[in-house]
Amino acid sequence: GAEQSALLACTQTGIHEDRLEMDNSKLFFQLYFDRMPQPVTGPVTEALLHLVDKVNVAGANNGRM
């Protein structure tokens, strides 16, 4: 309801509204992601990536004539 009303009000009046700046949200998520540890690839993921790479190479070689 509220989204439809806001959309209708903007489209019917033709008045453009500036983008809403949400500084607190930006700060919250920036701090959250800055503190998040970097992802580490484990042995299972490494093995799967190796298999996918081999499948891609085999598929590319089979496509050549």
Residues 6 or more apart whose Cβ sits within 8 Å of residue 10: 16, 17
What pLDDT, on the 0 to 100 scale, is given for residue 28? 93
DSSP-assigned states of every residue in 2-34: HHHHHHHHHHHH----PPPP-HHHHHHHHHHHH
What pLDDT, on the 0 to 100 scale, is given for residue 1? 65
- pLDDT by residue for the chain (65 residues), tens digit each? 677 777 677 667 777 777 778 899 999 999 999 998 888 889 999 999 999 999 888 777 776 64
What pLDDT, on the 0 to 100 scale, is given for residue 42? 92
Model-wide pTM > 0.75 = no
What pLDDT, on the 0 to 100 scale, is given for residue 12? 72
